[in-house]
Amino acid sequence: MRNFKLLGMAFLALCLFNCSQDEIVEEQQVIKPTKTDIEYSKRAGLKPIGSGVMMQAFYWDVPAGGTWWNTINSKVADWSNAGIDAIWLPPASKAHNGPFSMGYDPFDYFDFGEYNQMGSTETRFGSRAELINMITTAHNNGLSVIADIVINHNSGGASEANPYTGGNTWTDFNPMSGSFLRSATDFHANNVHSNDSGAFGGYPDLCHHQTYVQDWLWKNSNSVAKYYRDVIGFDGWRFDYVKGFEPWVVKDWKNEVGGFTVGEYWDSNVSTLDTWTSSAEASAFDFACYYKMKDAFMGNDLTALNDNMLWKQNASKAVTFVANHDTDEIIDNKILAYAYILTHEGYPTIFYNDYEEWLNKERLNNLIWIHNNLAGGSTDILHVDTDEYIARRNGYSNSGLVVYINNSNSWQERWVETNWSSTVIKDYTGHSGWEPTTQSGKWVKIQAPPKSYSVWSVK
């Protein structure tokens, strides 16, 4: 998340209804889905999420002007061919800062660039038609599309008298879509409690204990979650700032509409991350891994990779990353960090700028191929010191691999124990021309170039 400056403008409240929101919700028909977990990967031709690599398909302050959905549309075929299985989009609906917003100050969850409000019709990223066209192109290329969901807070409401605070608050939301109108009762403080797990940046903080809020966000047939899934075409969810509300919210959302789900729980404590994944029944970004990689590659001490990370404790729930729109601190040796996450357990994510602008795309494509074709099974760390790190993936439906990361300034060689007896192996990165034969006892000498890596498997 990023902090936003709240705009000092009040909006005239429209008297659209003569009844309270509590009365409205009683009139709405709540339709339960026929099954609690929609298997999105069974949509025609989609790769199963987690079978490849996720692409974060944006960065902070992508170009304004409504061109971003078309930009992504032009790239998804190449990404799919490279081995990407899902793309994560920025928050797609209309936000308070209109044509300039990155979407993290949500106003109208049902306006994807079709209503003239908050200073524009299109969002920063484009129109509703362009968004749906891009998602269709992604689906046609086998890619799932993950929505960035911001439900901790809202922005852009008009000022109203608030009986729970004794003053005025910016909590009167009357979006032009006519869906999910909100008032002071739907935010903290209210008649339920004064706060939940945490507010953010001074924004009105949604109260997920209110039945009305639950119904509009995920329960009703016309809820945000079902509209995103059934009308716009999203396949999964990335929940923003999940520290701000209880994990049962994510769990209930996923149980209602299904789909791959990952939370942004920004914490380096492995036990805290693992506890959240258990409670939310969802994946989490592996911030523990991120910070250990920062220590290893920015601090030039690869022994940090020996420390615990979410992927080591609960690999099936770990989404690993080297950079994202908020956090891009691993500058030195960044390709070594990608060699790490793309050869280890967890579901790896590639950052748009790293792939399209900053790093060598050919090397990243090679690592994606290695991840998708060789990096199976459990992991054993074979050697680690300040400059060198060697680990073995033991294989599952493939041969497995041995990755050798060398952060020194010279070529390095080591004898390692593999899973292959009397077998010719090679370096699938092409950095080494060796093709050694493992001994009958499975030992072999491998090498790695300076400030680089090699990945070895059966020829």
Q: Is 141 annotated as a binding residue?
A: no
Report the candidate in 167, 171, 147 with the shortest Cα–Cα distance to residue 159: 171
Considering the candidates 240, 274, 286, 387, report the single residue annotated as catalytic. 240
Q: Where are the beta strands (DSSP E) in 183-323?
A: 187-188, 205-206, 236-239, 260-263, 283-285, 318-321
CB 318 within 8 A of CB 309: yes
| 230 noted as active-site residue | no
HSE (side-chain half, CA atoms, 13 Å) at 76:
27
| 264 noted as active-site residue | yes
Spell 388-407 as b/e; 16+ CB within 10 A means b.
Answer: bbbbbbebeeebbbbbbbbb
Q: Is 78 annotated as a binding residue?
A: no
Residue 183's region, left for phi above 0, alpha for psi from -120 to 50, else beta, is beta
From the CB of residue 44, how many other CB atoms can be counted at a distance below 10 Å? 7
φ/ψ of residue 369, rounded to 5: -60, -45
Which of the 8 DSSP states describes residue 60?
T
Considering the candidates 264, 274, 286, 354, report the single residue annotated as catalytic. 264
- C-alpha distances in angstroms, 225 versus 81, 98, 100, 218? 29, 22, 24, 5
Both tokens of residue 73? 């549309």
φ/ψ of residue 179, rounded to 5: -115, 140
**Distance spanning both ends of the chain, measured CA to CA:** 45
Q: Where are the beta strands (DSSP E) in 352-431?
A: 379-384, 388-393, 401-406, 412-417, 425-427
* Contacts with 381 (C-beta within 8 Å, 6 or more apart), sequence order: 305, 306, 389, 390, 391
CB 106 within 8 A of CB 91: yes
CB 374 within 8 A of CB 405: no
Angstrom distance (rounded) from CA 256 to CA 34? 10
From the CB of residue 353, how many other CB atoms can be counted at a distance below 10 Å? 18
For the annotated catalytic residues, the residue numbers are 240, 264
Binding-site residues sit at: 152, 385
Binding site, annotated residues for Ca(2+): 152, 385
